[in-house]
Amino acid sequence: CIFFNITTSDQYLAILVPGRMYADIYKKRGLKPENLSRTLEDSATVTSVLVPWNTCGATQASVLGVATLVYAPYCFFNIISPFMTILYGYLKIGINFYEEEELEVA
């Protein structure tokens, strides 16, 4: 998602494209859709303001009157959030799995 924030210059594409790409993979691994939704939020949405040419970064810079790279070091949540998501996924904290019955029906 961070890659798409940088290359597509828009947060919505950074959510939509990976969301479509990984939906089936998440389901095959038994992960519920809310896991994908949270991952997209924690990586695409919060990092979009850190990319100067992204629509969110440009808007924040113009509203605040401060360049993106100037306020970026103070965006602790935006920088830490993707790493926390990876850690939570690795440790399986807050990860929702399908029950076997749910997978058979779907």
Nearest to 23 by CA among 10, 12, 37, 13: 37
Compute the distance between CA of residue 62 and CA of residue 56 in angstroms, rounded to an integer: 10
Q: Label residue 81 by pLDDT band (50, 70, 90).
A: very high
pLDDT one-digit tens code per residue, 15-71: 999 999 999 999 999 999 999 999 999 999 999 999 999 999 999 999 999 999 999
How distant, in Å, are the alpha carbons of 19, 61, 76 from that of 37? 8, 27, 21
Q: SS3 breakdown of the chain: % helix, strand, coil, rounded to 5?
A: 75, 0, 20
